[in-house]
Structure 1
Amino acid sequence: MTRRICVFTGGRAEYGHLRGLMRHLDADPGVTLRILVSGMHLAAEFGHTVDVIEADGFTIAARVEMLLSGDTPSATCASMGLGLIRFADALDRLRPDLLVVLGDRFEALAAAQAALVLGIPIAHLHGGEASEGVLDEAFRHAITKLAHLHFAAAEPYRQRIIQLGEAPDRVFTVGAPGLDGVGDGPPMDRTELEEELGFRLGPVNFLVTYHPVTLGGRPPEAAAAALFDALDRFPHAHVIVTRANADSGGRAINTAIDRFAADRPGRVFATASLGQRRYLSAMYHADVVIGNSSSGLIEAPVVGRPTVNLGDRQKGRLRAPSVIDCTEEAGAIAAAVERALGPEMRAVSARRESPYGRGGAAARIAGILARFPLDGLLHKSFHDLPAAGPAQEAVPS
């Protein structure tokens, strides 16, 4: 009897990290792969990227519509509630032996909640990380406590998962599976990429992705305006911008992105989604990766491109030496970009140093998922760390 493994994906970035794993699972004769698609994949405004999954040759086992039209925290809450109801129906019908979720999105949290109550063991990828500027920080750690197997992208993250009370023999350091895509094949050459996008690259090129900072107090439009002001200080540079995700404030940012691109035809290209191959190809042809996406910290260093990381959205994540952090002010962003374009950072980036491994994570994860014993997996004991020292006395009132 084959092991039924269901992989959940709710958006373009997450799928880019899961695609290699899905290929390995699909090729394993001992595994029956089921794919559960939801969230931004099913929305036209975010590129309807379920089409990309099917174009890659995968069969969708279930589609769960959950995103409500809205750009507010209450709309996100309502989407999570709707997702919980519909994921329960889908998972009850599919009845997998394992559910695989990645990362820290609210869509993944809702899927994991449904699986736990239905008695379906959960395998969680990219747990133990930190992104202190966004709600995803809490979502990620909550999924860790719901999950039964854990695949960390680096050893410090494995230790944090154990610190959260998870049994060490269920926590594996495997590297970042998204790096497998970097080595999947050669990127598009410049001409092919230009033809695919219908956009000509310039003498200098920036790849930009900016998402809402959901725990920040600054209006998303103001943060985007500062970024665009900085980009305009490099009028010779051509800019490829991917739109923001479905978090609160994302639609406001996307409206600003579309206006920015429309006002600068031929110099700025905006899209809801590039897909993994075009995105990585654009990264190869970019001189600097700019924004607050995790791809600037995970993929860009291995591709050999410097990153200008804005603000607090990725605060707490491990960084390669090719990542430059700056505040979300136009002057600070422009100065960081100037530094990234300089010979010193080009030399640093060329070393392609990364704290997340060099690929091969998908095969390691697939092997464990296919063979880890399932008996008793739902039962968890809290793993206590050794006492650090004597307890502090309470401060007298």
Structure 2
Amino acid sequence: MSTELRVLTASEWDTWLGCTELAFGGVPISPEGREMYASLTEPQRAIGHWDGAECVGTAGAHSFRVTVPGGAAVPAAGVTMVTVAATHRRQGLLTAMMRRQLDDVRSWGEPLAVLLASEPGIYGRFGYGAATTEMNLRIDTSRARLALPAGTDAVRMRRSSPLEALDACEAVYARLAETRPGTPVRRPGWERMPVNDPESTRKGGSPLQCVLAERDGEVLGYATFGLRPSWDEAGPRGTVAVRDLAALDPASYAALWRFLCGIDLMSVVECHNRPPDDAVLRLVSDVRRCEVRLRDGLYVRLVELGAALEARTYRTPVDVVLEVEDTFCPWNAGRWRLTAGAKGDAVCRRTDEEPELALSVSALASAYLGGVSLTTLAAAGQVRETRAGALAEAALAFSSDVQPWCPHGF
């Protein structure tokens, strides 16, 4: 069967989006969501497979910058809306789109591509590696108490509508984005994503609400959430569904959690995407009442390996020769010498020297943001040490003080 793969035109966007809706179950995106995606989609960075007038495959790439260890915001393609119609599976459409897309990303001068996978098993063969973890929580507030740091009582809680508080929340987000690898630096328009609140996604709950944490008139944190009231024979059993929570200091952070855990008629606080090192686990009196569950988060692809490794800083000085396997982007394959001091002066160049570590590009991508240890990957057989001591040195250098995390979808 013959199909045509081409760049999207603005007039084809509705048909292209219809293909993605069908691939994700056929449930139409809400009018609010459709309008938002229309404003955020960059047609010149989107591609589609066409079988005559029918769109049968889609892939988009947002213009992103993503924080890496050291705080730099590195250009990255935010890969999204990747689908193949059920009628056209197993015909090579996905491979063709991944090939075209990574070639395009390279031509745009973006050293990274990132995505959130609906099916994690798909993207490893294209060189992506799972680089962040997200944590889901379900806190039983009737049985878990909070140990609050000094200064919590000085923080004022103020309700606001999510839209009215948008600028204040974005200011907090922007400051925190510099401190945690994996966080997208939001471009204008993307601030709407976290407050998109179609009724169809509320599971019978309230519209999205917002509370601000303030001290001396300054907004130091915020939380957005919905409430799902419920009762059983014993009384109220409502759920606080947290969308976002961020704060600039420990007292404001703790004050927000105290507020959420103390809302009347609610007995559960539910979060579906928190960083795996979230300090709330150190605030609660009994972590066993938090129903912690971890899952894969952001997937990273090193499109230009040398430029990507030079863009981040390293926890300790490092000098190591890597032998990298990359069959899908062969310009990355081969031996690279990475040298870096403690001042962000990394250099990664081709070399003929003997390798000291051998690994695939997907394993290197998993370690890139500092959340997956090269030592762990070696234990799984994904990194091979050929110089004694090279693994421990590189693993320490690649590590991060804070766990990488992607706080929202795209």
TM-score (norm 2): 0.29
Structure having greater relative contact order (Cα 8 Å, sep ≥ 6): 2
Q: Comparing both structures, which one devotes a greater share of its residues to strand? A: 2
Q: Which has the larger radius of gyration?
A: 2
TM-score (norm 1): 0.29
Q: Comparing both structures, which one devotes a greater share of its residues to helix? A: 1
